[in-house]
Chain A
Amino acid sequence: EVQLVESGGALAQPAGSLRLSCATSGFTFYHYVMSWVRQAPGKGLEWASAITGNSEDTYYSDSVKGRFTISRDNSDNTLYLQMNSLRVEDTAVYFCVKGSTGDRPYYFDTWGQGTLVTVSS
């Protein structure tokens, strides 16, 4: 069974930093694109970032580009999101999401339960 378990969500100050982790199991991790999708309270889904299986390519939405860094450790089957220069508008539940393949086009076939990031002074 595919499992994605996020951690690292917390209360952070504006301009602060957080690092999210996603521990995975049940599939061959390095074969698949992995993404982070976020959801602000009461709002819809917003894709934030993606990384290919071998970490060769990373992708970011305009709203997080230059502030967030996605990475993965294929030896540990773990996905990360380093979040710097946090803003109030980054407040959201962050979902770790498995892509359906190792390259485009891919849909999101498995989602973690999410971890809450709150940015507030």
Chain B
Amino acid sequence: EVVLTQSPGTLSLSPGERATLSCRASQSVNSNYLAWYQQKPGQAPKLLIYGTSSRPTGTPDRFSGSVSGTDFTLTISRLEPEDFAVYYCQHYSNSRTFGQGTKVELK
């Protein structure tokens, strides 16, 4: 089974800064099937990105996803106050497992 390792565990940044979150797969995977979810304290997760780089309606365009080999990246171009949250990746081709999460916190 594919294991997803997210890094860093915590990212301390200020509003307006760029955030780069990594999700590495333990083996070669289909690069088209990676999703990112955002979870704020006390709330349910929310789909942010699917298909590695597609944004569902409602996801601001400051969020973008990319891939290089087995390394998937979520980039937030300029952090807004509402972006401070925990982010999970999930590869959904044959597995339903999630990465362990990256917390983006206010510096």
A-to-B contact residues, CB < 8 Å: 35, 37, 44-47, 50, 59, 61, 95, 100, 104-114
B45 touches A45 (CB 8 A): yes
Instruction: Assess whether A111 is in contact with B46, with CB atoms less than 8 Å apart.
Output: yes
CA distance A37 to B92 in the complex (A): 14
A46 to B92, CA, bound (A): 13
B98 interface neighbour in A44, A50, A59, Cβ under 8 Å: A44
* Chain A residues near B45 (CB-CB < 8 A): 37, 45, 95, 108, 111
- Hey, which chain A residues are within 8 Å of B99, CB to CB? 44
- Pair B44/A107 contact, Cβ less than 8 Å: no
Give the complex CA separation of A59 and B92 in angstroms.
14
In the complex, what residue of chain B is closest to A108 when comparing beta carbons? B47
**Neighbouring A residues of B43 by C-beta, 8 Å:** 113
Number of B residues near A (Cβ < 8 Å) is 22
Q: Please list the 7 inter-chain residue pairs (A to B) with the smallest Cβ-Cβ separation, ordered nearest first.
A: A47-B96, A111-B44, A107-B35, A45-B98, A107-B50, A107-B92, A44-B101
12 A-B contact pairs sorted by A residue (CB < 8 Å): A35-B96, A44-B100, A45-B90, A45-B101, A59-B96, A95-B44, A95-B45, A105-B33, A105-B93, A107-B92, A113-B43, A114-B44
Q: Give the A-B pair count, Cβ closer than 8 A.
A: 55
User: Smallest distance from the beta carbon of A74 to chain B beta carbons, Å?
Assistant: 22
Q: Does any Cβ of A come within 8 Å of B88's Cβ?
A: yes
Whether A113 and B93, one on each chain, are in contact in the complex, defined by CB atoms closer than 8 angstroms, is: no
Bound CA–CA A45/B98 (angstroms): 6
Q: Given A95-B45, A113-B44, output 16 extra A-B contacts at Cβ < 8 Å.
A: A35-B96, A44-B88, A44-B101, A47-B96, A47-B98, A95-B44, A104-B92, A105-B92, A107-B35, A108-B45, A109-B56, A110-B47, A111-B44, A111-B45, A113-B43, A114-B44
